[in-house]
Amino acid sequence: MRADRIGYKNTDCYIYTEVNVSNILKESNKLLPDIIIIDSVQTLISPYIDSTPGSISQVKECTGELQRYAKETNIPIFIIGHITKDGGIAGPKLLEHIVDVVLQFEGDQHYAYRILRTLKNRFGSTDEIGIYAMDVKGLREISNPSELLISPNDDHLSGSAVAASVEGLRPLLIETQALVSPAIYGTPQRSATGFDTRRMSMLLAVLEKRCGLPFGQNDVF
């Protein structure tokens, strides 16, 4: 249903509903695909291990079998693993040690943009990122991320500053927006999104000490 919704017309994409690793590899030997995607490794079982799916022994054995198969056949295998609410890989940490590359696909439920980060790469840099937009047709590559990270208004508004940053080989223009208002509840509030709150407090202290700006009586967002 999802393929029909996004208009995906590819006759070379095969879906195999199987959790037994041995059966998956046997089918792969018949098909010899260009790429294999496993979703997810916590649901796989190996006939050589007598334990429940998702256990440490099952994940270790299944991932090891997939790795050996990938090395022998030169077929790249993408293994999808669940993550925790904190963003870490769920289950055993050994999954990161077995694979060659660890990619994290992250996003915010309030925004349509997704970021692909490299946390580990045995064969290249981990400083590269990919930025995508989620729309009705699926994921769409954002070739110029700076268009999303800065507001389109040309007005010289107070509290807005644009700076250049580098992620790997990609330069990005990032806009920081700040709002300062009198504290009406007595204790000033300090709130930041996408910025270290402790660093913001330090910058405010420097501005108040050196520039005489009364941030101690204002809310800063």
- Tens-digit pLDDT profile for the chain (221 aa)? 888 887 878 888 899 999 999 999 999 999 999 999 999 888 999 988 888 888 888 888 999 999 999 999 999 999 998 777 666 666 557 788 889 999 988 877 777 888 888 889 998 888 888 889 888 888 888 888 777 777 777 667 788 888 888 877 778 888 888 999 998 888 889 999 888 999 999 999 999 999 998 888 899 99
7-13 long-range CB contacts below 8 Å, 24 or more apart? 7/137, 8/138
Work out the angle between the directed axes of helices 56-73 and 21-31 (0-180°, nearest 10). Answer: 20
pLDDT of residue 91: 59
Q: How far apart are CA 145 and CA 143, in angstroms?
A: 6
pLDDT of residue 89: 62
In contact, 218 and 180? CB cutoff 8 Å: yes
109 within some domain: no
pLDDT of residue 87: 61
211 within some domain: yes
137 within some domain: no
pLDDT of residue 90: 60
124 within some domain: no
Residue where a domain terminates, one of 41, 73, 99: 99
Q: Which domain holds residue 45?
A: 1-99
Q: How many domains does one find in the chain?
A: 2
Q: Which two tokens stand for residue 18?
A: 């199987």
170 within some domain: no
Whether the model clears a pTM of 0.85, i.e. scores above it, the answer is: no
DSSP 26: H
Residue where a domain terminates, one of 64, 99, 134: 99
pLDDT of residue 88: 63
Q: How far apart are CA 168 and CA 127, in angstroms?
A: 4
Neighbouring CB atoms inside 10 A of 24's CB total: 19
pLDDT of residue 193: 87
* Per-residue burial over 99-110, b = 16 or more CB atoms within 10 Å of its CB, e = otherwise: beebeeeeeeee
Residue where a domain terminates, one of 65, 99, 133: 99
